[in-house]
Chains A and B, each alone.
Chain A
Amino acid sequence: MLLRNRASRSISYTAFLILMLLTISGCTKSSDSFIEKQVNPQIEVFGVKLMMDEAKVNELLGSKGEKAMCVYGYEYDYTDDGINIGYSSKSNQVRRITSKNPETSIYGIKPGMELAKAYKTLSANGFKESNESKYVYSKENIIFSIISMKSTNADGLTIEIKPDEK
């Protein structure tokens, strides 16, 4: 009888633990995990990362840039730094990072790099070219766009979370 009680208690505890773990892991959106673990470490733009709170960005960049509204939220343009940070109006977190600053990089691609080299890097990192534009690549819920003024170099880079996602 004592053994049966112990066994029953052990089963209950184990079930409880497993379910707690499932709850914690299952409720974390896999897309958020992808951004945090795989995408953000590849972004070298003054420490700014996707899904970062606006306050943290302000802390990193020192001052606020020029604010403008977008259809998916709002953005701050830091002209002197050659970057533009877009936020989701729902979460007030970074949804998009655009950089034309050659001192920054995303997936090792620096503004000014040859287009062919940029495409190669994106493909090597699992990004697929979109059907709409040869300058737009995507992977899961992330869109990587290249701004090319003369179709020779990647003059600017944009990494963003698909608008519906954040």
Chain B
Amino acid sequence: MKKRTLALLVVLALSMLIFVGCSQPKSEGDATKPSVSGVGTAPDGSEVAIEKATMKFVKDFEAGGYQLVSTEDLNKWIGEKKDMIIVDTMPADFFAKNHIPGAVNAELPKTGMADATDEQKAAFVKLLGTDKEKTIVVYCGFVGCARSDVGAVLALEAGFKNVYRDPGGFIAWQEAGYAIEK
């Protein structure tokens, strides 16, 4: 009888182990959120990475010929209901999860214009409409992301005159604590 009880206890203990061992770790949402998202140009704070991204950004900006709008000003523009088109150039699955309110999506390559397919270019330009005077704002993930540069250049090439790139992109928007649309 004692052995049977012991066997039962062993079975129970192992069952508990199975449940504990197989349970999934807490999702990210359960964890204490850091003040910054841990994603971006240099999540580890590396000055080397920041400088590298800055140099590339400035080079792209100078060659691109577009204008810049800060995350803070873009938020103001949205609050003022400025007549503009905001284009999120991140992949569709990322856009579906969260984006800047009112933005539309057209994925562009992060590696530069040379990697933009004909279909991607056509889909992006189609979203901009026909009013060439309209303000166009393009953003992607963060300062080190080049998708928005590709978009801003494409918009200029398509004849749009008021083209802005938001350098900080979605991560800066999120870290600023502004409203997010899903």
Task: Report B76-106 residues with CB < 8 Å from chain A CB.
Answer: 90, 92-94
Q: Could you count the A-B residue pairs with CB atoms below 8 Å apart for me: how many are there? A: 74
* A69 and B17 within 8 A (CB): no
- Whether, in the assembled complex, A124 has its beta carbon less than 8 Å from a beta carbon of chain B, the answer is no
Binds B, one of A21-29, A37-45, A51-59, A102-110: A21-29
Given contacts A23-B21, A147-B117, contact A16 B14 (CB under 8 A): yes
Binds A, one of B5-13, B129-137, B159-167: B5-13
* B11 and A151 within 8 A (CB): no
Cβ-defined partner of A8 (8 Å) among B7, B21, B92, B170: B7
* A149 and B17 within 8 A (CB): no
CB nearest neighbor in B for A8:
B3
Task: Report B6-42 residues with CB < 8 Å from chain A CB.
Answer: 6-7, 10-11, 14-15, 17-18, 21-22, 38-42
Number of interface residues, chain A, beta carbon within 8 A: 30
Question: Contacts of A84 on B, CB cut-off 8 Å?
Answer: 111
* A151 and B119 within 8 A (CB): yes
CB nearest neighbor in B for A98:
B111
* A19 and B39 within 8 A (CB): no
- Whether, in the assembled complex, B141 has its beta carbon less than 8 Å from a beta carbon of chain A, the answer is yes
Given contacts A23-B21, A151-B117, contact A163 B92 (CB under 8 A): no
Given contacts A16-B14, A19-B14, contact A163 B93 (CB under 8 A): yes
- Whether, in the assembled complex, A12 has its beta carbon less than 8 Å from a beta carbon of chain B, the answer is yes
List 16 additional A-B contacts (Cβ < 8 Å) besides A12-B6, A163-B94. A8-B3, A12-B3, A12-B7, A15-B7, A19-B11, A19-B14, A23-B22, A69-B40, A71-B39, A71-B170, A147-B115, A148-B119, A149-B118, A151-B117, A151-B119, A163-B93
